Amino acid sequence: MLRLVGGDAPCAILDYGCGYGALARRLVTGRLPFRYIGFDVCQPMIDVARAQVCDERCVFTAREDELTPVDYTLASGIFNVKLQASRTHWQEHVLATLDKLCAYSREGFAFNLLSRYADSELMRDHLYYGDPAWYFKFCKERYSRNVALLHDYELYEFTVLVRLGAAPKPLTD
Q: What is the CATH number of the domain that holds 65?
A: 3.40.50.150
22 falls within a domain? yes
Domain that holds residue 64: 9-163
Q: What is the pLDDT of residue 171?
A: 43
173 falls within a domain? no
58 falls within a domain? yes
Domains: count for the chain: 1
2 falls within a domain? no
Give the separation between CA 37 and CA 32, rounded to whole angstroms.
Answer: 15
pTM: 0.90
98 falls within a domain? yes
Residue 104 Cα to chain centre, angstroms: 11
Q: What is the pLDDT of residue 81?
A: 84
Give the separation between CA 77 and CA 94, rounded to whole angstroms.
Answer: 12
153 falls within a domain? yes
In 8-137 the beta strands, taken as DSSP E runs, fall at 11-16, 34-39, 58-61, 70-75, 105-115, 129-130
DSSP string, 28-48: HHSS--EEEEEE-S-HHHHHH
CB-CB contact of 43 with 18 (8 Å): no
169 falls within a domain? no
pLDDT tens figures, 93-116: 999 999 999 999 999 999 999 998
123 falls within a domain? yes
